[in-house]
Chains A and B, each alone.
Chain A
């Protein structure tokens, strides 16, 4: 059953700790994305990757880091430098440009 999986669904962390969000896809998609969504807000692009071992900053990359060592995986690390990390994080993938994006179920991160 093909799809894109994010884990965990809910995550709680103490302020000052780094945390890594998982995103895995078995759709054989080249491009992967991380978006942040705040309550009642749209989707803001954090990082995206067009191909393995390559990624670009989106509009709000500060305080975040990513890696793309495998085609299937695009983990996002929320570092302690991110001032307001509490949010809903969505991972997406697409086969190529000008094709539909498939989203994971999201991870709701709460930092206390």
Chain B
């Protein structure tokens, strides 16, 4: 079935360093969504990418969707302690509705 693989599983950074998490699929994705889950909390939607090669920015966060629509990345510039949490990518099967999440990348930021 449809799967999205996410790497790395964990990332420890010093505050001010950059961070990137990657999401990969063996099949073409209809879309990619990114969510953030703070420790002890629930996932919160960040953004959705739909078009091939799409790039979107939210302040220090940059989201990319690959040209072949099989991979995506989330890059955080100059991490802050408020960035701590787990970042998930998610995608839907062809036809929609069945939403599958990647395993997530847990970000630790040391002040």
Chain A residues with CB under 8 Å of B99's CB are: 33, 45, 48, 94, 101
B98 contact from A44, A56, A90, A104, Cβ within 8 A? A56
A9 CB to closest chain B CB (Å) equals: 11
B31 contact from A31, A50, A98, Cβ within 8 A? A98
A21 CB to closest chain B CB (Å) equals: 14
A42 contact from B92, B95, B103, Cβ within 8 A? B103
CB under 8 Å from chain A, chain B span 75-102: 88, 90, 92, 95-102
Give A77-107 as 1s and 0s: 1 = Cβ < 8 Å from B's Cβ atoms. 0000000000000101010111111111110
Interface size of B in residues (CB-CB distance below 8 Å): 27
Give B32-52 as 1s and 0s: 1 = Cβ < 8 Å from A's Cβ atoms. 010100000111110010100
**A58 on the B face (CB < 8 A):** yes
B18 CB to closest chain A CB (Å) equals: 23
**A111 on the B face (CB < 8 A):** no
Chain A residues with CB under 8 Å of B50's CB are: 98
**B30 on the A face (CB < 8 A):** yes
Name B residues whose Cβ lies closer than 8 Å to a Cβ of A: 1, 6, 30-31, 33, 35, 41-45, 48, 50, 88, 90, 92, 95-104, 106
Name A residues whose Cβ lies closer than 8 Å to a Cβ of B: 31, 33, 35, 40-45, 48, 50, 56, 58-59, 90, 92, 94, 96-106
